[in-house]
Amino acid sequence: MHTFDYPQSRMLFDRACEVIPGGIYGHFSPAPLGQTAAFPFFAARAEGARFQDVDGNEFIDYMCAYGPMILGYAHRAVDDAFRNQLALADTVSIASPRMVELAELLVERVAAADWAFFAKNGADVTAYAVTIARAATGRRKIVAIRGGYHGTHPWMQAPGHHGIAEDDHRHCIRIPWNDFAALEHVVAEHEGDIAGFIATPYHHPTFGDSVLPAEGYWQNVEALLRKHGIVFILDDVRCGFRLHRGGSNERYGFHPDLICFCKALANGYPIAALVGTDALRTVTASVFHTGSYWFSAAPMAAAIATLQELDHVDAPRLLEIYGRKLNDGLIRIAKSHGFTLRVTGEPCMAYYRITDDESQMLHQRWCAECTRRGAYFAPHHNWFVSTAHSDADLQRTWDIADEAFRALKTAA
């Protein structure tokens, strides 16, 4: 099998470093990839489940832009909706009818939603949700899960990170995932001072196995929060529309007050949404939050088309089927080479880890060997599959994984 080189990517990176701090920042930074040399840095084009880098190497993409891509790149219906709206009006001085239509669509399909609000990024709406919780309750504290990620606003960051002051997260209390007793304890300790509880539908930290909700966890959480008048915020930025058409809470049977959506909402076009219950409608209207591009209509049109298309193909079912097949195959292939591949979380956005080496260096090398053969695997983030991933992609991925394991053994 041919293995890839990345001269153009590296040249672009050198140019980037001259004019962009860190070259490539944030979650696209090569830093946490481990075997950085095996990874492309810049993409030239993308279609379906694949992208091509600037060196002409083609990858089956298992990161799906870290979540936004769900129907495949260059999806005809979504892109047409975007382009058509662009030709009509995008960012203008007044709001677009698409905003109303998209809100209506979300209210119709998301059982927990009586209203919707739009922004650009996940953190726009997680931060808004927390502010609304404070405004609604007149309280200060927010409870979140240790290792949970809700964006880069200072209150969400871990202590000691650059530029973060102690006060920034003074009112954010972190508790372990799936630990209902810890939540009870915190609620008792700060009786009357907890505004909101924010968590993802299940625990999907970077650098660690994913953990699904324990039996009864969400139902207990919901009952406790209700009893104490604490606003229940679901951060569905990453999982939203992948696990259930109406929000991931439907998958696990609970009822949040606010749900944050973003990534898969418009198949890659920039838009985030906060939806909520009637009880929080007036207070939400009173909490000022906005942005220069939050009314741009083309991404709203793309979101409408995406939601329709997701229903049309019954996306959560397709994703689950592909995810299960992918995972079963990879586990089997690993085993045939004497390795144990641990797969955790929901099958369509699972976290993978070779357990034969606790340090994860082996896992990093395997992801690197796969990537330089055309299956784009980031080692320490959950992967994603899309409805565009085909059986041919699946077979190719298995072949690559197989050869990558062989390469590991040869190197050893």
Partner 1 sequence: MNNDLLKARLNLHAVLRNLEDLPELDTRAAEMIRAWRLAVCFSVHGGPAATLEFSEGRCRHHAACPPHPDVKLFFVSPAHLNAMFAGNSSPLPLKGFSKLGFLKHEFAELTRRLQHFLRPEPERLAEPAYLRVHTLLTLLTGVFAVPHLAALDPVATEIAAATPRGSLQFVVDSEGPVAHLVYSSNGVESRKGALEQPSACMWFADWPAACRILSGTLDAFTATGKGLLRLDGTIPLIDNTSLIMERAAGYLA
Ligand X SMILES: Cc1ncc(COP(=O)(O)O)c(C=O)c1O
Using CB under 6 A as the binding criterion, the count of chain residues that bind ligand X stands at 12
> Closest CB to ligand X among 158 and 313?
158
Rounded to the nearest 10 degrees, what angle do helices 315-336 and 297-313 cross at?
Answer: 70
Among 178-186, 213-221, 356-364, 386-394, the segment contacting partner 1 (CB under 8 A) = 356-364
State yes or no: residue 167 binds partner 1 (CB under 8 A): no
Q: To the nearest 10°, the Cα dihedral for 142, 145, 147, 151?
A: -40
Question: Of these, 3, 8, 27, 32, which contacts partner 1 (CB under 8 A)?
Answer: 32
> Closest CB to partner 1 among 82 and 155?
155
State yes or no: residue 237 binds ligand X (CB under 6 A): yes
The site string for partner 1 over 202-231 (x = CB under 8 A, - otherwise) reads -----x------------------------
State yes or no: residue 15 binds partner 1 (CB under 8 A): no
- At its nearest, how many Å lie between ligand X and the CB of residue 399? 30
Sheet order of strands, 231-235 included: 115-119, 272-276, 258-261, 231-235, 194-199, 141-145, 172-175
> Closest CB to ligand X among 262 and 266?
262
Taken in order 403, 408, 409, 410, the sign of the CA dihedral is positive
Residues 164-193 that bind ligand X (CB under 6 A): none
> Closest CB to ligand X among 262 and 343?
262
- At its nearest, how many Å lie between partner 1 and the CB of residue 123? 20
Of partner 1, ligand X, none, which one does residue 123 interact with (CB within 5 to 8 Å by kind)?
ligand X
* Strands (DSSP E) found in 347-412: 351-354, 375-376
**What does the alpha-carbon distance between residue 100 and residue 110 come to, in Å, rounded to a whole number?**
15
Q: Name residue, tokens 């990024």.
A: 121
Q: To the nearest 10°, the Cα dihedral for 95, 100, 106, 108?
A: 170
CB atoms < 10 A from the CB of 337, how many?
A: 15
Residues 241-300 that bind ligand X (CB under 6 A): 262
State yes or no: residue 42 binds partner 1 (CB under 8 A): no
- At its nearest, how many Å lie between partner 1 and the CB of residue 227? 30
Of ligand X, partner 1, none, which one does residue 237 interact with (CB within 5 to 8 Å by kind)?
ligand X
H or E element, residue 404: helix 391-411
State yes or no: residue 199 binds ligand X (CB under 6 A): no
Among 164-172, 184-192, 233-241, 346-354, the segment contacting ligand X (CB under 6 A) = 233-241
- At its nearest, how many Å lie between partner 1 and the CB of residue 133? 25
Among 402, 98, 389, residue whose Cα is nearest residue 271? 98
> Closest CB to partner 1 among 87 and 165?
165
**What does the alpha-carbon distance between residue 228 and residue 211 come to, in Å, rounded to a whole number?**
26
**What does the alpha-carbon distance between residue 295 and residue 213 come to, in Å, rounded to a whole number?**
35
Among 15-23, 55-63, 177-185, 187-195, the segment contacting partner 1 (CB under 8 A) = 15-23
Residues 114-153 that bind ligand X (CB under 6 A): 121-123, 126, 149-151
Coil vs helix vs strand at 323:
helix
**What does the alpha-carbon distance between residue 89 and residue 74 come to, in Å, rounded to a whole number?**
21
**What does the alpha-carbon distance between residue 71 and residue 93 come to, in Å, rounded to a whole number?**
31
> Closest CB to ligand X among 246 and 374?
246
State yes or no: residue 176 binds partner 1 (CB under 8 A): no
Taken in order 173, 175, 179, 185, the sign of the CA dihedral is negative
Interface positions with ligand X (CB under 6 A): 121-123, 126, 149-151, 200, 235, 237-238, 262
